[in-house]
Structure 1
Amino acid sequence: GIKDGEKISLIYDLYDEYDKVSGISSMARTTGYTATAAAELLLQGKFTSKGVFPPELVGKYPGCYDFIMNYLKERNVNLKLTIKK
Structure 2
Amino acid sequence: MNRQQLIKRMAELSEMSQAECKRVLAALENTIAQALHEGETVYLPPLGVFEVRHHLPRTGRNPQTGETIEIPLRTVPAFKAAAPLKKAVAEQA
With the shorter chain as reference, the TM-score category is 0.3 to 0.5
Q: Which has the higher strand share?
A: 2
Query: Which is bigger in relative contact order (C-alpha 8 A, separation at least 6)?
Result: 1
Q: Which has the higher helix share?
A: 2
Of the two, which has the highest radius of gyration? 2
- TM value normalised by structure 2: 0.30
